[in-house]
Protein backbone atom coordinates (compact mmCIF):
# COMPACT_ATOMS: atom_id res chain seq x y z
CA UNK A 1 0.00 0.00 0.00
CA UNK A 2 1.46 3.42 -0.89
CA UNK A 3 2.50 5.46 2.13
CA UNK A 4 0.50 8.44 0.90
CA UNK A 5 -2.80 6.53 0.61
CA UNK A 6 -5.48 8.30 2.60
CA UNK A 7 -7.83 6.58 5.04
CA UNK A 8 -10.70 7.34 2.66
CA UNK A 9 -8.90 5.66 -0.24
CA UNK A 10 -8.18 2.56 1.85
CA UNK A 11 -11.79 2.42 3.04
CA UNK A 12 -13.00 2.87 -0.53
CA UNK A 13 -10.92 -0.05 -1.77
CA UNK A 14 -12.21 -2.19 1.11
CA UNK A 15 -15.82 -1.33 0.28
CA UNK A 16 -15.20 -2.10 -3.39
CA UNK A 17 -13.69 -5.47 -2.57
CA UNK A 18 -16.57 -6.28 -0.22
CA UNK A 19 -19.16 -5.31 -2.85
CA UNK A 20 -17.43 -7.48 -5.45
CA UNK A 21 -17.42 -10.37 -2.99
CA UNK A 22 -21.15 -9.99 -2.37
CA UNK A 23 -21.83 -9.83 -6.10
CA UNK A 24 -19.77 -12.96 -6.71
CA UNK A 25 -21.54 -14.82 -3.91
CA UNK A 26 -24.91 -13.81 -5.36
CA UNK A 27 -23.84 -14.96 -8.82
CA UNK A 28 -22.93 -18.37 -7.42
CA UNK A 29 -26.28 -18.59 -5.60
CA UNK A 30 -28.17 -17.66 -8.77
CA UNK A 31 -26.46 -20.44 -10.74
CA UNK A 32 -26.92 -22.95 -7.93
CA UNK A 33 -30.66 -22.19 -7.73
CA UNK A 34 -31.00 -22.98 -11.43
CA UNK A 35 -29.21 -26.30 -10.94
CA UNK A 36 -31.13 -27.36 -7.82
CA UNK A 37 -34.51 -26.25 -9.21
CA UNK A 38 -33.88 -28.59 -12.13
CA UNK A 39 -32.56 -31.69 -10.41
CA UNK A 40 -32.45 -31.27 -6.64
CA UNK A 41 -29.47 -31.89 -4.40
CA UNK A 42 -29.31 -35.63 -3.96
CA UNK A 43 -25.83 -37.13 -4.18
CA UNK A 44 -24.01 -33.92 -5.01
CA UNK A 45 -20.66 -32.99 -3.46
CA UNK A 46 -19.37 -29.44 -3.29
CA UNK A 47 -16.85 -30.32 -5.99
CA UNK A 48 -19.53 -31.63 -8.37
CA UNK A 49 -21.79 -28.66 -7.61
CA UNK A 50 -18.92 -26.29 -8.40
CA UNK A 51 -18.30 -28.06 -11.69
CA UNK A 52 -21.95 -27.95 -12.71
CA UNK A 53 -22.45 -24.26 -11.95
CA UNK A 54 -19.15 -23.36 -13.60
CA UNK A 55 -16.96 -22.19 -10.74
CA UNK A 56 -13.87 -23.60 -9.08
CA UNK A 57 -14.13 -25.71 -5.96
CA UNK A 58 -11.94 -23.13 -4.19
CA UNK A 59 -14.34 -20.32 -5.12
CA UNK A 60 -17.31 -22.25 -3.80
CA UNK A 61 -15.66 -23.10 -0.47
CA UNK A 62 -14.55 -19.47 -0.10
CA UNK A 63 -18.19 -18.35 0.13
CA UNK A 64 -19.81 -21.46 1.63
CA UNK A 65 -18.07 -23.39 4.37
CA UNK A 66 -19.84 -26.70 3.70
CA UNK A 67 -22.26 -28.42 1.34
CA UNK A 68 -25.01 -28.01 3.94
CA UNK A 69 -24.30 -24.30 4.29
CA UNK A 70 -24.64 -23.91 0.51
CA UNK A 71 -27.89 -25.89 0.39
CA UNK A 72 -29.41 -23.77 3.16
CA UNK A 73 -28.42 -20.52 1.49
CA UNK A 74 -29.67 -21.71 -1.91
CA UNK A 75 -33.09 -22.57 -0.51
CA UNK A 76 -33.35 -19.35 1.52
CA UNK A 77 -32.46 -17.25 -1.52
CA UNK A 78 -34.88 -19.16 -3.77
CA UNK A 79 -37.64 -18.70 -1.20
CA UNK A 80 -36.85 -14.99 -0.81
CA UNK A 81 -36.97 -14.58 -4.57
CA UNK A 82 -40.26 -16.47 -4.80
CA UNK A 83 -41.82 -14.36 -2.04
CA UNK A 84 -40.71 -11.22 -3.87
CA UNK A 85 -41.96 -12.31 -7.30
CA UNK A 86 -45.15 -14.01 -6.09
CA UNK A 87 -46.09 -12.38 -2.77
CA UNK A 88 -49.01 -13.75 -0.80
CA UNK A 89 -51.99 -11.44 -0.48
CA UNK A 90 -52.21 -9.86 2.99
CA UNK A 91 -55.82 -11.09 3.06
CA UNK A 92 -54.98 -14.70 2.19
CA UNK A 93 -55.94 -17.33 4.73
CA UNK A 94 -53.36 -19.83 6.00
CA UNK A 95 -54.73 -22.57 3.76
CA UNK A 96 -54.87 -20.23 0.75
CA UNK A 97 -51.19 -19.39 1.33
CA UNK A 98 -50.18 -23.04 1.47
CA UNK A 99 -52.29 -23.88 -1.58
CA UNK A 100 -50.65 -21.11 -3.61
CA UNK A 101 -47.22 -22.29 -2.49
CA UNK A 102 -48.04 -25.87 -3.47
CA UNK A 103 -49.03 -24.78 -6.98
CA UNK A 104 -45.85 -22.76 -7.35
CA UNK A 105 -43.72 -25.67 -6.08
CA UNK A 106 -45.03 -27.93 -8.84
CA UNK A 107 -42.83 -25.92 -11.21
CA UNK A 108 -39.65 -26.34 -9.14
CA UNK A 109 -39.59 -29.98 -7.98
CA UNK A 110 -35.84 -29.83 -7.41
CA UNK A 111 -36.25 -27.09 -4.79
CA UNK A 112 -39.03 -29.08 -3.13
CA UNK A 113 -36.63 -32.02 -2.91
CA UNK A 114 -33.95 -29.70 -1.53
CA UNK A 115 -36.34 -28.48 1.18
CA UNK A 116 -37.21 -32.05 2.14
CA UNK A 117 -33.52 -32.94 2.31
CA UNK A 118 -32.81 -30.03 4.65
CA UNK A 119 -35.74 -30.83 6.96
CA UNK A 120 -34.70 -34.49 7.12
CA UNK A 121 -31.11 -33.48 7.91
CA UNK A 122 -32.36 -31.11 10.63
CA UNK A 123 -33.70 -34.10 12.57
CA UNK A 124 -30.27 -35.75 12.70
CA UNK A 125 -27.33 -34.90 14.92
CA UNK A 126 -24.40 -33.12 13.34
CA UNK A 127 -26.32 -30.84 10.99
CA UNK A 128 -26.36 -27.45 12.75
CA UNK A 129 -27.02 -25.37 9.64
CA UNK A 130 -30.03 -27.46 8.58
CA UNK A 131 -31.35 -27.60 12.14
CA UNK A 132 -31.12 -23.83 12.57
CA UNK A 133 -32.74 -23.28 9.16
CA UNK A 134 -35.69 -25.62 9.73
CA UNK A 135 -36.31 -24.49 13.32
CA UNK A 136 -36.30 -20.80 12.40
CA UNK A 137 -38.41 -21.31 9.29
CA UNK A 138 -41.08 -23.38 11.04
CA UNK A 139 -41.29 -20.82 13.86
CA UNK A 140 -41.59 -17.91 11.41
CA UNK A 141 -44.23 -19.54 9.21
CA UNK A 142 -46.18 -20.79 12.23
CA UNK A 143 -46.25 -17.29 13.73
CA UNK A 144 -47.45 -15.74 10.46
CA UNK A 145 -50.18 -18.32 9.96
CA UNK A 146 -51.38 -18.05 13.57
CA UNK A 147 -51.77 -14.29 13.18
CA UNK A 148 -53.84 -14.83 10.05
CA UNK A 149 -56.03 -17.31 11.91
CA UNK A 150 -56.64 -14.76 14.69
CA UNK A 151 -57.51 -12.13 12.09
CA UNK A 152 -59.96 -14.46 10.35
CA UNK A 153 -61.51 -15.47 13.67
CA UNK A 154 -62.05 -11.81 14.52
CA UNK A 155 -63.66 -11.34 11.10
CA UNK A 156 -65.97 -14.29 11.73
CA UNK A 157 -64.77 -16.42 8.81
CA UNK A 158 -62.78 -19.01 10.78
CA UNK A 159 -64.12 -21.09 13.66
CA UNK A 160 -63.64 -19.39 17.00
CA UNK A 161 -63.34 -22.67 18.92
CA UNK A 162 -59.92 -23.59 17.51
CA UNK A 163 -56.53 -22.54 18.84
CA UNK A 164 -54.67 -20.35 16.30
CA UNK A 165 -51.26 -21.84 17.07
CA UNK A 166 -52.62 -25.37 16.76
CA UNK A 167 -54.28 -24.50 13.44
CA UNK A 168 -51.03 -23.01 12.15
CA UNK A 169 -49.13 -26.17 13.07
CA UNK A 170 -51.81 -28.35 11.48
CA UNK A 171 -51.78 -26.38 8.21
CA UNK A 172 -47.98 -26.68 7.97
CA UNK A 173 -48.14 -30.41 8.73
CA UNK A 174 -50.83 -30.93 6.10
CA UNK A 175 -48.99 -28.88 3.50
CA UNK A 176 -45.61 -30.54 4.03
CA UNK A 177 -47.12 -34.03 4.24
CA UNK A 178 -49.12 -33.57 1.07
CA UNK A 179 -46.06 -32.16 -0.66
CA UNK A 180 -44.07 -35.28 0.22
CA UNK A 181 -46.87 -37.50 -1.09
CA UNK A 182 -47.03 -35.46 -4.30
CA UNK A 183 -43.28 -35.89 -4.84
CA UNK A 184 -43.79 -39.65 -4.72
CA UNK A 185 -47.05 -39.68 -6.68
CA UNK A 186 -48.17 -36.68 -8.72
CA UNK A 187 -51.76 -37.93 -8.75
CA UNK A 188 -52.15 -37.11 -5.04
CA UNK A 189 -54.97 -34.50 -4.71
CA UNK A 190 -52.78 -31.94 -2.97
CA UNK A 191 -54.83 -28.78 -3.59
CA UNK A 192 -58.12 -30.60 -3.04
CA UNK A 193 -56.98 -31.88 0.35
CA UNK A 194 -55.92 -28.39 1.43
CA UNK A 195 -59.24 -26.98 0.27
CA UNK A 196 -61.01 -29.62 2.38
CA UNK A 197 -59.02 -28.45 5.39
CA UNK A 198 -60.13 -24.89 4.67
CA UNK A 199 -63.77 -25.97 4.69
CA UNK A 200 -63.29 -27.75 8.00
CA UNK A 201 -61.93 -24.56 9.56
CA UNK A 202 -64.55 -22.24 8.09
CA UNK A 203 -67.55 -21.01 10.07
- Tens-digit pLDDT profile for residues 47-81: 888 888 888 888 888 898 888 999 999 999 999 98
Portion of the chain with pLDDT greater than 90, in percent:
55
**What pLDDT is recorded for position 44?**
67
Cα separation, 98 vs 84, in Å, equals: 16
Q: How far is it between the farthest Cα atoms of the chain?
A: 75
pLDDT tier at 43, thresholds 50, 70, 90: low
- Tens-digit pLDDT profile for residues 138-178: 999 999 999 999 999 999 999 999 999 999 999 999 999 99
Cα separation, 131 vs 118, in Å, equals: 8
Query: pTM to 2 decimals?
Result: 0.82
Report residue 158: phi and psi, to 5°.
Answer: -125, 145
Q: Is 139 exposed, middle or buried (0-12, 13-18, 19+ CB in 10 A)?
A: exposed
Q: Tell me the helix, strand and coil percentages in the chain, rounded to 5.
A: 75, 0, 25
Q: Is 27 exposed, middle or buried (0-12, 13-18, 19+ CB in 10 A)?
A: middle
Amino acid sequence: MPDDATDNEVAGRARGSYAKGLARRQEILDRAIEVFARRGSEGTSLRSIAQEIGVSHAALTHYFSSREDLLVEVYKEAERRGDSEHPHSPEASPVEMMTASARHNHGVPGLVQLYSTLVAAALEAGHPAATAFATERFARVRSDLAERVRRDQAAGITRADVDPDAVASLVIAASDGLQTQWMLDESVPQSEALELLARLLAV
